[in-house]
Amino acid sequence: MSRPKKMRLVNRPPIYTSFKPIGVRRGDLEQIPLSLDEFEAIRLADFLGKDHSEAAEEMEISRSTFTRLIEKARQKVACFIIEGKHLFIEGGDIHFRGNIIHCQHCGHMFKTGFDVVTTVCPACGSHELLDLAGGFGHGKCCRGSHRKFGR
């Protein structure tokens, strides 16, 4: 019997979650799911340029686990680009360190923590706010899950 999968830490929810080739209906495309931890691996290694040890420490997983994770994520992104499939980001065994709130009235986006309850857009005063972590079913569960980094 294998050990239970360890929850991985993801900095914040992604702003964009669906990508497809232009000019092709989404329903006509094969789908490629990219988990939130695979998204975070791409962000840390390829976007921020961190080495595998640094990235693994930030996600609170082993370096070898991070290496397997980034290889899997890169394969999916390559398949999306080369074969023109629909890539979408979905859940996984993760906790977010922070959150992003999107005002549906003015379009303003702002970062926030889970210890703060935000009900009004700081830019326009609207109450039409979209909680991006909540869209993945996270928020209350992520509070207090930041053992090493406390972010």
150 lies in some domain: no
Query: DSSP assignment of the chain, as one string?
Result: -PPPPPPEEESS--S--EE--TTS-GGGS-EEEEEHHHHHHHIIIIIS---HHHHHHHHTS-HHHHHHHHHHHHHHHHHHHHHT-EEEEE--SEEESSEEEEETTT--EEEE-TTS---S-TTT--S-EEETTGGGT-SGGGTT--TTT--
The CATH number linked to 78 is 1.10.10
Residue range 31-57: mean pLDDT, rounded? 97
Do residue 79 and residue 123 come from a single domain? no
- Label residue 116 by pLDDT band (50, 70, 90): confident
| Mean pLDDT on 126-136 | 91
Split into its structural domains, the chain has a count of 2
pLDDT score of 151 more than 80: no
Domain that holds residue 127: 99-132
In-domain check, residue 139: no
What are the tens digits of pLDDT across the range 70-105?
Answer: 999 999 999 999 999 999 999 888 999 999 999 999
